[in-house]
Amino acid sequence: MKIPKRNRIPFFILFLIHIFLMGLTFYRNKNRKETFILLVSTMGFAYLFEYFVLNLFNAYIYKPKVLKKPILDNVFGAVLSQAIFIPFTAVFLTLSKSGWVAKIFSSIYFSLIEMLFLRLGVYKHNWWKTIYTFILLPFYFKWCDFWYSCLRKKNQLVQFASFFLLIMVTETNLFFMLAIIRKFRFGIGRYHSWREHFILSPLYSITISAFTAISLKNHNNVSTKLKIIILGTGLNYFFQRIKLLKNKLRFFEYLLIRIVMVYVYGQYREWVYGERDGG
C-alpha cells in the first residue's frame, strides 16, 4: 500500500498548485464566463492532442495509482495533465498577458516536472521525449493567447469551435466517469477491451458534440433539445443492438442523463453567444 500512496503524492501536489493558480485567475478576472469558455476550449485542444498521442499511439504512461485498472489509471493521469495542469497554466499565462519569456520558462517548468516524474517512476515514456514537451508547450500557450483574442472579438468560427469544445470536453468527462464505475464500455466483438473503448468513446463524444453544437447554435429551444435527446438515446440503443457498446445503465437512467446534459449545453450556448435565440 505504500507504493500507490507514494505515486499519488506528486500528482496531488501539482493538483493543488494548479487549482490555486486557476482560483487566482478567476479571482482576478471579472468576466468569469469568458474565462471558463477559454479554459474549457483549451482543455478541448489538449484532449484532441491526447487522443492521438496517448489513446492511439501510446506515447507515454501515467501511474498515479488512483484507479486499480492500469489503463484507467493511465487515462486518469492524462486527464489530470490535459484538463488541469497544462490548460490551467495556459489560461493563467494568457489572462496575465505573459510574453514569450514566461511561456518558455513555463515550458521548462513542465519539462523539469516530466523529468522528475520519470525519475520517481510515476510516469513512463514509450516513444515520447521530454524535448517534445519543451518545444510544443510554448506554441500551445501562444495558441491560447490567439484563441482568447478571437473570443474577445466575437469571431464566429472561434465562437462555434469553442461551443463545440465545451460540449466535447463535458461529454468526454461524462463517459470517462461512466467507464470508471463500469457502466459504459465500447468495443468490437464479444470482449470489449479498455483500449478499444478509449479509441471509440472519444469518436462517439465528438459525434454527439458536433450534432449538438450545430443544432443548438441558432435554436436553443425545446424542440431542438428534444431532437438531440432522441439522437443520443437512439445511438445508444443502436450501438447496443450491434454489440458495439455495453451499457449497464437502465434506459430511463441514460435518458435522464441526456436530458440533464442537453440543458447544460443550452446554458453553454448562452454563455458563448449571449441571450439571443434563433426561434
| C-alpha pair distances (Å), 40 with each of 14, 43, 50, 91, 137 | 19, 5, 15, 10, 17
* CB of 39 closer than 8 Å to CB of 88: yes
pLDDT in tens, 115-132: 999 999 999 999 999 999
Number of domains in the chain: 2
Distance separating alpha carbons of residues 266 and 55, to the nearest angstrom: 30
Single-letter amino acid code for the residue at 75 = V
Shared-domain flag, residues 134 and 207: no
Q: What is the pLDDT of residue 4?
A: 58
- Is the per-residue pLDDT at 1 higher than 60? no
Residue where one domain finishes, among candidates 123, 152, 181:
152
Residue 23: phi and psi, rounded to 5, are -60, -45
Torsion angle defined by CA atoms of residues 69, 72, 75 and 81, in that order, rounded to the nearest 10 degrees: -70
Secondary structure (3-state) at 246: strand
Residue 110 within a domain? yes
Shared-domain flag, residues 126 and 172: no
Shared-domain flag, residues 111 and 226: no
Q: What is the pLDDT of residue 278?
A: 47
Shared-domain flag, residues 172 and 135: no
| C-alpha pair distances (Å), 50 with each of 78, 194, 228 | 8, 16, 27
Residue where one domain finishes, among candidates 152, 173, 206:
152
- Domain span at residue 139 reads 2-152
* CB of 77 closer than 8 Å to CB of 64: yes
- How many CB atoms within 10 Å of residue 98? 16
DSSP state of 57: T
Shared-domain flag, residues 122 and 207: no
Residue where one domain finishes, among candidates 115, 132, 152:
152
Shared-domain flag, residues 143 and 164: no
pLDDT in tens, 24-47: 999 998 899 999 999 999 999 999
Shared-domain flag, residues 65 and 148: yes
Distance separating alpha carbons of residues 141 and 183, to the nearest angstrom: 36
Residue 68 within a domain? yes
Q: What is the pLDDT of residue 3?
A: 52
Secondary structure (3-state) at 62: strand
pLDDT in tens, 169-216: 999 999 999 999 999 999 887 777 899 999 999 999 999 999 999 999
- Is the per-residue pLDDT at 2 higher than 70? no
Q: What is the pLDDT of residue 277?
A: 52
Distance separating alpha carbons of residues 83 and 62, to the nearest angstrom: 14
Shared-domain flag, residues 56 and 129: yes
Q: What is the pLDDT of residue 188?
A: 85
